[in-house]
Amino acid sequence: LKAPPLPGSTRLMLPLLKSLAARREAELSARISAATPSGGSSASASGKRSGRATLSLAAASGAVPVKDVHGKKATGKRKKGAPLEVSSRKASAPKIAAKRRVDRARDPRFDDLCGKLDMDSFEKSYGFLEEYRQDELSALKAEAAQVRKRLEKKSSAALMAREAELRQEIHRRVQQDKQRRQRGEMREAELSVKQEERRKVQETGKTPYFHRRGAIRKLVHEKHRAAKKGSRDKLEERREKKIAGRGKKKLPGRRVRESDAA
């Protein structure tokens, strides 16, 4: 079967379109020849430049898509700060920055990972520190004595400040040693009371009694009083004076007569 003949108007338009296409090709070749530099260092370099010029002019004119020499799409250098281009064909989550490791300080006194604190084993393990403390206290007292001797010969503001600092440090260390001994005595008394109570429970089957801190402290005071053999304790004397003062406050005051006031 033959195609039907084209109408007369279509026959007239075909030569016109053909001439327009030829003119466009001529203009494009003229632009390419004008953009190509004359001469060059090598044939390969001129070929690359001509190819790039041809691609750029063709892309500008809209004749061919932008592609590189190998036929792939030309990808230029991404600008700084430009958003990252991700293909929409693949499901991808945004990148998450790695978490920075932070070192946290741990106090072994209140941390369960360090085990349970045993005061008995702790005191036995670090008992040598008591000797170090006594040596340091003796050195401070010797230095304070030397400073006092130098002050007797010649008074100086620096020596006076040093003597006051040494006196304060010695007093602080003496009080710390005293408190440490008191805590040790309380600990020993508490352990002895618990052992005695445990023995009574095992022998007689009595209900265990848990002593308070005040009762244990009283036992320690009685032990000190018995060790002094009749000498009165200063703490007991202060307590008696306090009780006597409270009793005096409750006593009625002396009445003043009118004749005495006149």
Per residue in 14-61, pLDDT tens? 677 777 778 888 888 888 777 665 544 444 444 545 555 454 444 444
> Quick one: pLDDT band at residue 84, thresholds 50, 70, 90?
confident
The per-residue pLDDT for range 133-179, each reduced to its tens digit, is: 999 999 999 999 999 999 988 888 999 999 999 999 999 999 999 99
Alpha-carbon distance of 195 to 190, in angstroms, equals 9
Eight-class DSSP state of 72? S
**Is the Cα dihedral 143, 148, 153, 156 positive or negative?**
positive
Model confidence pTM above 0.75: no
Q: How many CB atoms lie within 10 A of CB 147?
A: 20
